[in-house]
A and B are shown apart, each in its own frame.
Chain A
């Protein structure tokens, strides 16, 4: 199984809402990533978890809060987002942190009103 799944596929939320994005992989990978991608731009790294510990946080605002409950799951909790946070949020995993092929999920399309 080389699949990374993400839910939901689409999400519309107001600026006062709290929501969560979910990501799951069953490939036994020990590194998982969150990326943000704006239209016509490359993915930008937000967070890296390696062996369930946060190892990289690319100065992301605190309104984004990652959580890694176990080696297969990665969540991104959203609170008090701004309209400019509207984007495609991609989850990925790899066997180890960096230097390896990353497998991407289909993404969650987020619209903040």
Chain B
């Protein structure tokens, strides 16, 4: 199973700014998911985007998927201190694997 590569590894922004994280992968996917993890805690699902979708929104979150470039981005608008967390993309590569493989994550720090 493949692993997504996330970029940047760490991101520090001021409250109110937008944060963009990217995830690239190598082979075809069935869907791509984004999760958030606060320090030392469980993961929280944010958005699932399927391979035939290009963009999805949820509140202040916007996810795009470009299957030709094999990449996805997560945009958090008007960031808040509470958005400070690690963000992971997770790939469902299909092909009967029926499992998610998590990328290495982006650690986001939002400074009040």
Partner pick for A90 among B31, B43, B48, CB 8 A cutoff: B43
Q: At the interface, yes or no: A103 with Cβ under 8 Å from chain B?
A: yes
The answer to whether A99 and B98 touch across the interface, beta carbons within 8 angstroms, is yes
Q: At the interface, yes or no: B81 with Cβ under 8 Å from chain A?
A: no
Q: Which of A89-105 contact B (CB under 8 A)?
A: 90, 92, 97-99, 101-105
* Shortest Cβ distance from B4 into A: residue: A42
Which of B13-21, B54-62, B64-72, B102-110 is found at the contact surface with chain A? B102-110
The answer to whether B43 and A99 touch across the interface, beta carbons within 8 angstroms, is no
**Residues of A in contact with B, size category:** 20 to 34
**List of A residues within 8 angstroms of B48 by Cβ:** 101
Given A42-B103, A99-B92, A101-B45, residue A88 in contact with residue B40 (CB < 8 A): yes
**List of A residues within 8 angstroms of B94 by Cβ:** 99
Which DSSP category, helix, strand, loop or mixed, fits chain A's interface? strand
The answer to whether B43 and A104 touch across the interface, beta carbons within 8 angstroms, is yes
**List of B residues within 8 angstroms of A92 by Cβ:** 43
Q: At the interface, yes or no: A28 with Cβ under 8 Å from chain B?
A: no
Docked Cα-Cα span, A97 to B98, in Å, equals 6
Q: Which of A71-113 contact B (CB under 8 A)?
A: 88, 90, 92, 97-99, 101-107, 109
* Shortest Cβ distance from A41 into B: residue: B104
Docked Cα-Cα span, A30 to B98, in Å, equals 13
| Chain B residues packing against A (C-beta within 8 Å) | 3, 30-31, 33, 35, 40-45, 48, 88, 92, 94, 97-105
